[in-house]
Amino acid sequence: MGNIVAIVGRPNVGKSTFFNRLIKRREAIVDAVSGVTRDRHYGKTDWNGREFSIIDTGGYVVGSDDIFEAEIDKQVELAIDEADAIIFMVDVETGVTGMDEDVAKLLRKVEKPVFLVVNKVDNNKRAEDAVEFYSLGLGDYYTIASINGSGTGDLLDAVVEALPEKEDIEEEELPRFAVVGRPNAGKSSFINALIGEDRYIVTDIAGTTRDSIDTKYNRFGFEFNLVDTAGIRRKSKVKEDLEFYSVMRSVRAIEHCDVCLLVLDATRGFDGQVQNIFWLAERNRKGIVILVNKWDLVEKDNKTVKEFEKHIKQEIAPFTDVPIVFISVLNKQRIFKAIETAVEVYKNRTKRIKTSVLNETLLPIIEHNPPPAYKGKYVKIKYIMQLPTPQPQFAFFCNLPQYIKDPYRRFLENQLRDHFDFTGVPVSVYMRKK
């Protein structure tokens, strides 16, 4: 199970800069104007061999400070619910503000590990100034300068130390299918349509996250858990339409599932938020099935299935080998087709290919289409094996792995897909030194 760490704090204390350092990519656009961080706020990072997800709660709310006052409380509460540890960031330049005190008040009641982090401490004078943050009542603090990274090592050591150890997997590991998508795309109705009039239900168990419900489900002689992320316990305080909340809710469900059924509303199309959820699933190397719901409402506009599919595939390139099923939850059209497809994708994700078969199939093709020579050196791929991981990963052993570039890796991935069917599943290709 992946651990989740959330970064909270008022605007402009440096949350995004810190987040970007951790995920080593400028995934968020950092700007001095409040609330400009409009990009993905979710990334994976690892420290001392422990991998965890990091969520930057900043920048989701654009508006005046008083709007933010109300908003920040919600973000903190959500972080308290969803994360395993919380980094609360404050700014030594401005000192303790009323908003910091509000956040501290919420965090003082929390059972989870909370790390008070004073940012922008890049000289001794500022280190002395940081002392006033003891007044927040959160105990010791960490001083860092996220712009150059000083102090972040000690902080991360402590964070990783405090993360709960991975839970033991329950004896009965059924495949988990998570139904994800933006609010009102029809996730709950999809699940109800599957379950509602169905005698296949085995048992209901409360979900691992407090607001996803797992339903053990048996269909086509195949048993699996259906994870509903549609927000069982809708918090009146949380406006469901805020992008942040639906992404945050999806993060945990996606991390803990095998296959994501991404439901989208055909009338709204494959928009930015749906794409974010798609890439989240892809980055976590999960199986994916795209379900286009409410297709019955679009057909009248003469949009053809082919055009719609083509558009989605352009948006998800280069990972286009993903099944797209057009459904109508209302008319119960192709709902079971959706589940059947998810089962196929699950089987593709857990497929093991014998080393002998891999080599017999792919080595002749590679010989005919060798990697391009680099600086007059020829790369020879000698041997291929599948790695013992939960999802398909392949190692290609060769004399000069560093000379193999992305286009050729994609060629190898496509050969794997053409010969062994990995539809719906991200495939990783590694070059290793023989």
Token pair belonging to 98: 């009323």
**Residue of higher predicted confidence among 326 and 277:** 326
| Site of tokens 């099923």 | 325
Determine the angle formed by the axes of helices 272-283 and 305-316, rounding to 10 degrees: 60
Confidence label for 234 from pLDDT (cuts 50, 70 and 90): very low
CA distances from 342 to 150, 166, 179, 417 (A): 46, 27, 11, 17
- Residue 183 to residue 156: CA distance in whole angstroms: 34
Calculate mean pLDDT across residues 202-212.
Answer: 38
**Residue of higher predicted confidence among 23 and 220:** 23
Token pair belonging to 361: 């199939």
Confidence label for 305 from pLDDT (cuts 50, 70 and 90): confident
Token pair belonging to 401: 């792995």
Report pLDDT digits (tens) over 191-206.
777 776 443 343 344 3
Identify the pLDDT of residue 68.
60
Partners of residue 273 on adjacent β-strands: none
Alpha helices in 88-215 (DSSP H): 98-108, 124-129, 152-162, 187-195
Identify the pLDDT of residue 204.
40
- Residue 309 to residue 330: CA distance in whole angstroms: 21
Determine the angle formed by the axes of helices 272-283 and 243-255, rounding to 10 degrees: 20
**Residue of higher predicted confidence among 397 and 242:** 397
Token pair belonging to 32: 């001095």
Confidence label for 218 from pLDDT (cuts 50, 70 and 90): confident
Q: What is the pTM of this model?
A: 0.68
Regarding beta strands 222-228 and 141-143, do their DSSP bridges make them parallel or antiparallel, or are they unpaired?
A: unpaired
Among the residue ranges 168-172, 211-215, 320-324, 363-367, the one predicted with the least confidence is 168-172
Among residues 83, 58, 84, which one has the least CA distance to residue 71? 58
The residue count of the chain comes to 434
Identify the pLDDT of residue 66.
58
Torsion 89-92-93-94 (CA) sign: positive
In the predicted model, is pLDDT for residue 144 greater than 70? yes
In the predicted model, is pLDDT for residue 168 greater than 70? no
- Residue 316 to residue 305: CA distance in whole angstroms: 17
| Site of tokens 């590990």 | 113
Partners of residue 394 on adjacent β-strands: 386, 429
Cis peptide before 318 (omega within 30 of 0): yes
Among residues 294, 260, 307, which one has the least CA distance to residue 279? 260
Partners of residue 369 on adjacent β-strands: none
Among residues 64, 57, 8, which one has the least CA distance to residue 34? 64
Report pLDDT digits (tens) over 27-86.
433 433 333 334 457 777 888 888 888 888 764 444 445 556 667 777 788 788 878 999
Among residues 23, 17, 142, which one has the least CA distance to residue 87? 142
Confidence label for 140 from pLDDT (cuts 50, 70 and 90): very high
Identify the pLDDT of residue 55.
84
Identify the pLDDT of residue 196.
63
Calculate mean pLDDT across residues 160-189.
Answer: 76
Identify the pLDDT of residue 220.
61
Report pLDDT digits (tens) over 387-422.
998 899 999 999 999 999 989 999 999 999 999 999
In the predicted model, is pLDDT for residue 230 greater than 60? no
DSSP state of 400: -
Regarding beta strands 324-326 and 428-433, do their DSSP bridges make them parallel or antiparallel, or are they unpaired?
A: unpaired
- Residue 166 to residue 174: CA distance in whole angstroms: 18
Identify the pLDDT of residue 429.
94
| Site of tokens 């398909």 | 392
Among residues 29, 13, 21, which one has the least CA distance to residue 89? 13
